[in-house]
Structure 1
């Protein structure tokens, strides 16, 4: 019985939050050398209310982005044929492009400098705070929009 309830909740959440995703990232460097980099994309489990869309960027397609089944009879990408998992996989392939898209969003920066006589050590931590976004697929590229 519990499995059925969990399955129903999972299905309802996937239908309700069809296109929304969440992105956040962490970067750190020591002595100006990249030490740690982590970008994370997850599917939203709830739908945003009273959202407004703000353009973030455009990601152009590469040849191997989609399978043949994603196209309609005219050779145009059919977003209605794409599942949420297909969109999620596309976004994971283009994580580096998403960092460039969201680098102007809310960022938390911490910088530490330690110095002893002639020895100086620097550490910088940058976090892109979690934000919601949607993706729209068009003929040659995908448009990314912030949810505000």
Structure 2
């Protein structure tokens, strides 16, 4: 597994987190290096293990996933670590907060297993991934913004 993508799974629900770990470890090119149950633990485990990708839940006790993402993104020693948010909630507030915090993408927990594995791989490769419904709203939000006027030449 020397070339495997190293993944940290952060989710407070034991069954879901351990199921994600089993799924990720089923990929020959993926390996789970740590699991976390709180936002604080996700940050600490990320510092200790330096995973390539953190699969981050938003709503967790002990510091939520948004704050953990913000801390990971701000830590200079973790510049190579990318965060992929995985949530049940597709609220715009969560999506925008996750992006502002430095998340590379946002998937919903109803994603199919193959989609999740692909998202981890693509996040590691530098792509930004979003659930289709979220991507549609992001594009609509961008298109609804006023068009900037001509550049100021003063």
TM-score normalised by structure 1 residue count: 0.23
Q: Which has the higher contact order (CA 8 A, sep 6+)?
A: 1
Higher Cα Rg: structure 1 or 2?
1
> If each structure's helix is expressed as a fraction of its own residues, which one has the higher value?
2
TM-score normalised by structure 2 residue count: 0.23
